[in-house]
Amino acid sequence: MSQSDSLRALRDNIVSRNPAEPEFHQAVNEVLDTLEPVVGRHPEYIDAKLLERICEPERQIIFRVPWVDDTGEVHINRGFRIGFNSALGPHKGGLRFHPSVSLGMVKFLGFEQVFKNALTGLPIGGGKGGSDFDPKGRSDNEIMSFCQSFMTELYRHIGEYIDVPAGDIGVGAREIGFLFGQYKRITNRYESGVLTGKGLSWSGARVRTEATGYGTAYFVQEMLAANDHGLEGRNVVVSGSGNVAIYAIQKVHQLGGRVVACSDSGGTVHDPDGIDLALLRQIKEVERARIAEYPERRGGKAVYVAGKTVWEIPCTVALPCATQNELGADDARTLIESGVVAVAEGANMPCRPEAVRLFREAGVLFAPGKAANAGGVATSALEMQQNASRDSWSFEHSEQRLHEIMRNIHADCFETAEEYGHSGDYVLGANVAGFSRVADAMLAFGVI
Q: Which residues are designated catalytic?
A: 128
Q: In angstroms, rounded to a whole number, what is the distance separating the alpha carbons of residues 199 and 172?
A: 10
Sheet holding 342-344, edge to edge: 303-306, 267-270, 258-264, 235-239, 317-320, 342-344, 365-367
Q: In angstroms, rounded to a whole number, what is the distance separating the alpha carbons of residues 262 and 294?
A: 11
What does the radius of gyration of the chain's CA atoms come to, in whole angstroms?
A: 21
Q: Which residues pair with 92 in a beta bridge?
A: 164
Residues 398, 379: contact at Cβ < 8 Å? Answer: yes
Q: In angstroms, rounded to a whole number, what is the distance separating the alpha carbons of residues 430 and 444?
A: 22
Residues 347, 370: contact at Cβ < 8 Å? Answer: no
Q: In angstroms, rounded to a whole number, what is the distance separating the alpha carbons of residues 220 and 345?
A: 10
* Distance between start and end Cα atoms, the chain: 24
- DSSP type of residue 157: G
Q: SS3 of 108, please?
A: helix
3-state helix, strand, coil split of the chain in percent (to 5) is 50, 15, 35
**Distances 398 to 165, 209, 219, 379, 389 between C-alpha atoms, Å:** 20, 12, 17, 8, 15
